[in-house]
A and B are shown apart, each in its own frame.
Chain A
Amino acid sequence: MTARRTSKIQRALKAARDTGAYLADDKKTEIRVCAGTACHASGRVALRKAIDKALAERGLSDRVAVVETGCHGFCEEGPIAVVRPQGLFYPRLKPKDVDEIIETSVVSDGIVERLLYKDPATGDPVAHEADIPFYRLQQRVVLALNGKIDPYSIDDYFNHGGYTALAKVLDDGDPMGVIDEVEASGLRGRGGAGFPTGRKWRFCRGNPGDVHYVVCNADEGDPGAFMDRSVLEGNPHSVIEGMTIAAYAIGAQSGPVEGYVYVRHEYPFAVERLRAALAQARERGLLGGDILGSGFSFDIRINQGAGAFVCGESTALTASIEGHRGMPRGKHIRTVAHGLWGQPTNLNNVESYANVPWIINHGAEAFAARGTATSKGTKIFSLTGKVVNGGLIEVPMGATLRHVIFDIGGGMLPGREFKAVQLGGPSGGCLPASLLDDPIDFESLVAAGSMMGSGGMVVVDDSTCMLDFVKFFLKFTAEESCGKCVPCRVGSQRLLEILERISDGEGTLDDLDRLETLSDDIIEGSLCQLGGSAPNPVLSTIRYFREEIEAHITEHRCPARVCRPLIKYTIDPDACTGCHVCLGACPTQAISGERKQVHVIDQKLCIKCDTCRQVCKFDAIPVVDAQPALVEGRQQ
């Protein structure tokens, strides 16, 4: 009986795969253009048009396929194109470069050295993606297929072993076995809290209900984080497969299961590609009724968020799907027991689901081989801010911050010094240079006063004022607080006001104590993690950057020269050439001076908008402390 069932499901998978017209051929000539959001913004549409035109002119349109892939992760270098089968990696392409590439690398078998990526350390050109340090030092599990497959093509996913994990699970017919496997792998929720995924599934399965819900949280609200978006844009089928496996593990043999993906409305490409992928999966019998002839039914609906950060919180998310204001409730009863429409609901992050097919295919042991004792597997970080190589980085848990920021991320921009790295979005904390050699895992980050969060990693250098940085996060949480709990709604506003007072140079040293006390109260008195973690940036900054904040208070000085009341713009008479550029750009006509004469800034008119400093080609507009006399007086 088991043997017959086995072959039936495998036959169904083969049939689903063979329906496609596209056949795998690694030797085929192809140009793969990255169509991620960042590359889109840096001009991939024009690039694609130029490629199509160049191919048509040479009569190659039939022979050479142009495929738009998901995010390659190296967003700093966009738009990116890869010429296959050689695998030549061309970053920062302009439409005018296309002819040369087609002539050299597609028509003949050469390499356009001029356009290759240059290793910033050595200056040598690197031809293949795999040899670039940014990619070489990563271990890509979830992102393995990003940039290699066409997100609109289920066949591409099949050709890379897609849906074999689902077939295997349906074949075995053992939902508890799936849960055991995921639990043994040590996979923990990638959304930030790090709850063991397998255990959550077990709880959810154990709770009775009319229907079980499997929900994917793709409401990636953390500013500065975009890994969920990239996974959905680059490889939506992996999430669908992971969710279907979860649904089988949780709901099979116990009742109906329904799926939801809650995705941000700000991610139009992700929604579009996910929608296409769902349609394809349904068409091939991988979703819907009687999946692969196994008798198990499951379908997924898309629900779009509408720009509320708090909806990343599980209970707020379910409220939002139900059509209410996204306000969290107390979690004395968990969503696994009483979630969407009062039914047991399993809620995991995009990245967690995307890990599941890999675990099923390669086994729990292989997954647990990566990472640390408590945090297993790999984690994707979106490295942004003042680093050379921003983008998506997947490394095993336990890698050090230094490895991620300096070895893979290429370190700081030239002439700049590392100051802090902010992890975990508005709920996380800022870590200083002294903690760069700490391993990244759930526990060590919390111990350091930060948190894993969804994996946003923002690096700042000495040109960023930590006080201004914290003010940014507080402003964010104060605005995004849903308003239910008073400590969060009013407290975050008060924290912000104290910080603003300090940055205006009007703070006192008592304010620092007040910040700490108020922070503790907010953490204590909030229902959900938005309020419970909102003061984290404040606390971690006071812990590690106290001196910088004290400089604002005692010396009325902003060391990074960002806080406006404490700075002024001046013109360096030795460097100014009198070129009139700043004069023309100044929105308030605060700059005067004859051509070829040193210009002068009228401090009364200056609004400190930074335009003049940015347009000056000679670095002739230094920003100085507004009250240098006071500072000198203190130093004496």
Chain B
Amino acid sequence: MPRRDSTDTASEPRGSALYEVLKGIDFERRELVDKPRGVGLFDLVKDKGGSYKCYACTLCERTCPVDCIELDYCPEFEELPFDVEAERAAALATLPGESCGANAACVMGEKPAGYAPEIDMKKFDAVIAGIREGSGLVQALHSTQEAYGYLPRVALEDIAGEMHLPLSRIYGVASFYGQFRLVPVGKYVIDVCMGTACHVAGAPLVVEAFSQELEVPVGGTTPDGLFTLQTVNCVGACALAPVVRLGDDETIGRVGPNEARKLVRKLRKAEVPA
């Protein structure tokens, strides 16, 4: 629209319908500072079916120049209040385009009980102290995981506050690196080395044996909370391949599928009170 000066508004009406509409609008030029931008509430648009169109692609958050949008996430959201797969299937069947089907619950929804379990915040002081000394985000996440065994949501929120970063940025970093865990681990963490030397010595068979014996996939934790099965790229003890690391301290060399099963049985036996 061409810019009009105030003289235009002062001139006589020309009988245009458009002008009638424009008459009510104040075209007076003013400095922006006098008239602050109206910041309304952001709202998510719903489609005809009543579902949110947003599927949390995080683009708005990443492009916002002043970091005023913050997405929430739900890593410990183990038991969702709805069936994600069914929702997704229903959404895809009825609606064009993509939708996660969860009605953007991660952004807008009510948080269920037990969503962010309480943690012992005393252990967290060291992390905050580290951040103030200038340790980077990755280091802060390391020390958090050292303290709790995983990255609790509450701790990440505090890190976000301390470092003045959006929580999703922290989540992005935490989910990028293979070593960070967002859910608690079992009492025994079994790391099977998947380095080249271990591979040629039969590490895939060992992982499979552990997985069968524990009845969890790689990355899973047994329901009794005793074992977590993980793989690690290389622990650098290639001469002893295949290598299994138990917890942080114990490294066991030359483990075959049979030894793997025996190890699990031995640890299980030790746990059962006699």
Interface residues of A (CB under 8 A from B): 37-38, 40-42, 75-76, 78, 220-226, 229, 265-268, 303-309, 320-327, 382, 384-386, 390-391, 422, 425, 456, 458, 460, 464, 469, 472-473, 476, 482, 585, 587, 609-611, 614-615
Contact = CB atoms under 8 A, between A and B. Distances in A.
Interface in B233-274: 233-241, 243, 248, 251-253, 256-258, 261
B239 A321 contact: no
Contacts of A385: 196-197, 200, 238
Most chain A CB inside 10 Å of its own CB: which residue of B234, B237, B243, B257? B234
A40 B197 CA distance: 18
Contact of B176 (A223, A308, A384): A308
User: Looking at A265, A305, A309, A384, which has the most chain B CB atoms within 10 Å of its CB?
Assistant: A384
B245 to A, nearest CB: 9
A267 B199 CA distance: 20
Contact of B257 (A323, A326, A610): A610
B213 A78 contact: no
A390 B254 CA distance: 14
Contacts of A221: 233-234
Given A265-B179, A307-B232, 7 more contacts: A37-B251, A41-B243, A223-B234, A321-B138, A587-B209, A587-B212, A611-B261
A634 B234 CA distance: 42
B177 A308 contact: yes
Nearest to A585: B258
Nearest to B238: A384
A611 B257 CA distance: 6
B200 A458 contact: yes
A223 B196 contact: yes
Contact of B240 (A75, A325, A386, A609): A75
Given A326-B177, A610-B205, A304 B258 contact: no
Given A384-B239, A587-B213, A222 B177 contact: no
Contact of B200 (A265, A460, A585, A610): A460
Nearest to A227: B236
B138 A307 contact: no
Nearest to B234: A223
B142 A306 contact: yes
A458 B197 contact: yes
Contacts of A38: 236-240, 253
Interface of B: 136-139, 141-142, 163, 172-173, 176-180, 194-200, 202, 205, 208-209, 212-213, 232-241, 243, 248, 251-253, 256-258, 261
Contacts of B177: 305-308, 326
A306 B180 contact: yes
A382 B180 contact: no
A303 B177 CA distance: 14
B205 A325 contact: no
A550 to B, nearest CB: 22
Contacts of B209: 587, 609, 611
Given A308-B177, A610-B257, A224 B234 contact: yes
B166 to A, nearest CB: 13
Nearest to A41: B251
Contact of A611 (B138, B198, B258): B258
Given A585-B258, A614-B256, A321 B136 contact: yes
Residue among A309, A464, A609 facing the most chain B CB atoms (10 A cut-off): A609
Given A268-B248, A611-B209, A75 B258 contact: no
A615 B177 CA distance: 38
A306 B138 contact: yes
Given A40-B251, A223-B194, A307 B179 contact: yes
B236 A37 contact: yes
A422 B197 CA distance: 10
Nearest to B140: A323
A132 to B, nearest CB: 15
B103 to A, nearest CB: 27
B136 A307 contact: no
Contacts of B198: 223
